[in-house]
Chains A and B, each alone.
Chain A
Amino acid sequence: MASTVRTPAAPTRPTGRPKRRWGAMVFGILVLCVMLFPLYWMVNTALQPESGLLEVSPVPHGLDLSGFRSALSDQGGNLLTSLAVALGAVAICLAISAPAAYGLAQFKLRGTRTIVFGTLITQMVPGIVIANALYSAYVDLGLVNSYAGLMLADASLGIPFAIVLMRSFMVAIPREVIEAAEVDGAGRFRTFVRVVLPMSRNSLITAGLFSFLYAWSDFMFALTLNTTDDVKPITLGIYQYIGAHVGDWGSVMAASVLSAIPAAVLLVLSQKYIAAGITGGSVK
């Protein structure tokens, strides 16, 4: 259970002769092409503006960036909103779940088992149900159409996951290490900040990465907890775009490309954390 974050292991079964290996590689590339075709098509369409009512050609003729230009002018602000909301959600998520994960992993308190159990359960509450109740509470609290409101709601997407993931990591920290730090005179909080957090760096990164992706991808809270255009993340912007601009798929797709960039960048930069997050958060 301790091996949550690991570099992708080398495939185990060394099957076949070299020829078959190249055959497998070709097949693998083919699979990838099929799986990524829609994303290719998104980029391709984005580079062919004014194509809304026509068929799209398989490759863009020359680079026409006018789709990106209009997407940036229409949706640039929404991209920044998404970025702000997602970063805020990550901060809230880590600030709340890292100490909790540590506490649940290392302190012998009564009731912690129940809390861990509850954390697992909360991962299963449908978001629309939360939004349903949250909306009227937000109206009363004045949190509708606010950054803080959306950040908090989006943080809820990552918190249970982050607690479960980091806890499974922190359980493995040897008690002696923590005791040694406390004997050296560090307080509980200081031990946590100076010893536990650095040791759990990988799980912190994974948890942060995923809470960012959850918040960036969130559409439901953006849709339900905002009634004006004050706080409009890119997901909501694109959704409203297809209502208003059906003829201009070039711009819609350009906006989609822009909104997909964080996922692509994060995947390339930190693929091992992503793979670890998908398996770690679920099998645990």
Chain B
Amino acid sequence: MSTTTASAAAGAAPVAKKAAKPPNPARIRRRRRLAQWGFIAPAVVFMALFFGYPLVRNIVMSFQDYSPSTFFTGESPFNGTDNWSNVFNDELFGKALWHTILFTIGSLIGQFCIGLGLAVFFSRRFPLNGILRSLILLPWLVPMVVSGVVWRRILDQDTGVLNSFLGTIGAGGDTPWLTSTSMALISVILVNIWIGIPFNMVILYGGLQEVPKELYEAASLDGASAWRTFRSITLPMLRPVITVVLVLGFMSTVKILDLILALTDGGPADSTQTLGTLTYQNSFVQLDFGAGAVVGNILILISAVFAVFYLRANRNEGK
């Protein structure tokens, strides 16, 4: 048995091992399996610690009383469903939920439609196509906080370039993009659409390349219009990819924190507060981790529903 250990560990001295001892198939197989698990075990442990544990811990925390003093005394007594009822009775929760829905749906529609349009456009053959297509990825690669900060400057009511541009062409130019309660959420959505376009475009473009060319040839022989071809061939053939794009877009949008903090810090007057920022506010600003955990759990619940869609779509992708 020491021989198998040696071969698993160092891979040396291979010839001698077979003759050394009478083979014990069951034991060898067990050894072998153990060595194989050695490859997978670190990842399993890591994911248990960094994903499994937080999931469980959040549920427990949502029934515990955390206050700023908890971190000195170390005491966080259980308080039943107090956190849950506090959160649900706070009108900010309803607001944040509503903002999350608007933010997510608005972002998804914008990102997807423009992304799809660009994907179709870039499927044409023209000079510089490849270079332009890859440079468009930049906004998606830049840290989100940085994008937020840059847009904060652009959208500044008095000195921002957007308003001065709109003023020049005579289209207003005095919009309080980030400072009015009615505009702030719209502005945040617009910026997030800008961030999401490249991602949507790349995946949809990839999907478009998989559509068999013959279908388009047949359609053009039949004299189908461009719109008809798009509706009857492109869209149906893209369906699996579209599902994946939308679900992934949903998962990443619903939890966004960086962008909103950089643009508005959740303000003005909580008009851009979402479930993500509310979790952060509760836990790390007010140091009420119990309340933060409640909102976090709701966020997980929403994500879980869509995770089911994702896995369905993923399975349909085949293997």
The reply to whether the CB of B255 lies closer than 8 angstroms to some CB of chain A is: yes
The reply to whether the CB of A11 lies closer than 8 angstroms to some CB of chain B is: yes
User: Is the CB–CB distance between A190 and B209 below 8 Å?
Assistant: no
A172 → B minimal CB distance (Å): 12
Query: What are the residues of chain A within 8 A of B133 when measuring CB–CB?
Result: 8
Chain A: residues with CB nearer than 8 A to chain B?
1, 8-16, 21-22, 24-25, 27-29, 31-32, 35-36, 38-39, 41-42, 45, 52-56, 58, 95-97, 99-100, 102-104, 107, 109, 112, 115, 117-137, 139, 152-153, 155-156, 159-160, 163, 185-192, 213, 216-217, 219-220, 223-224, 234-235, 238-239, 242, 249, 252-253, 256, 259-260, 263-264, 266-267, 271, 274-275, 278-279, 282-284
CA gap between A216 and B142 in the complex, in Å:
9
The reply to whether the CB of B21 lies closer than 8 angstroms to some CB of chain A is: no
A-contact 0/1 string along B275-315, CB 8 Å cutoff = 01001100110000100110011011001101100110010
User: Is the CB–CB distance between A256 and B146 below 8 Å?
Assistant: yes
User: Is the CB–CB distance between A130 and B121 below 8 Å?
Assistant: no
Known: A39-B150, A134-B54, A278-B203. A264 touches B138 (CB 8 A): yes
Contact for A242 among B43, B139, B149, CB less than 8 A: B149
A-B contact pairs, 30 of them (CB 8 A): A1-B318, A11-B124, A13-B216, A15-B125, A16-B124, A24-B126, A54-B159, A55-B161, A96-B46, A100-B44, A115-B40, A122-B51, A125-B51, A125-B55, A132-B296, A133-B61, A136-B289, A188-B8, A188-B36, A216-B143, A217-B142, A217-B144, A235-B143, A235-B145, A239-B145, A249-B153, A252-B149, A275-B202, A283-B241, A284-B314
Chain B: residues with CB nearer than 8 A to chain A?
7-12, 14-15, 33, 35-40, 42-44, 46-47, 50-51, 53-55, 57-58, 61, 71, 118, 121-130, 132-147, 149-154, 159, 161, 164, 194, 197-199, 202-203, 206-209, 211, 213, 216, 241, 244-245, 248, 251, 254-255, 257-258, 261-262, 276, 279-280, 283-284, 289, 292-293, 296-297, 299-300, 303-304, 306-307, 310-311, 314, 317-319
User: Is the CB–CB distance between A187 and B8 below 8 Å?
Assistant: yes
User: Is the CB–CB distance between A279 and B39 below 8 Å?
Assistant: no
User: Is the CB–CB distance between A100 and B43 below 8 Å?
Assistant: yes
Query: What are the residues of chain B within 8 A of A134 when measuring CB–CB?
Result: 50, 54
Query: What are the residues of chain A within 8 A of B40 when measuring CB–CB?
Result: 99-100, 103-104, 107, 109, 112, 115
Query: What are the residues of chain A within 8 A of B303 when measuring CB–CB?
Result: 124-126
User: Is the CB–CB distance between A56 and B161 below 8 Å?
Assistant: yes
Query: What residue in chain A is nearest B191 (Cβ atoms)?
Result: A38
A115 → B minimal CB distance (Å): 6
User: Is the CB–CB distance between A41 and B128 below 8 Å?
Assistant: no
Query: What are the residues of chain A within 8 A of B38 when measuring CB–CB?
Result: 99
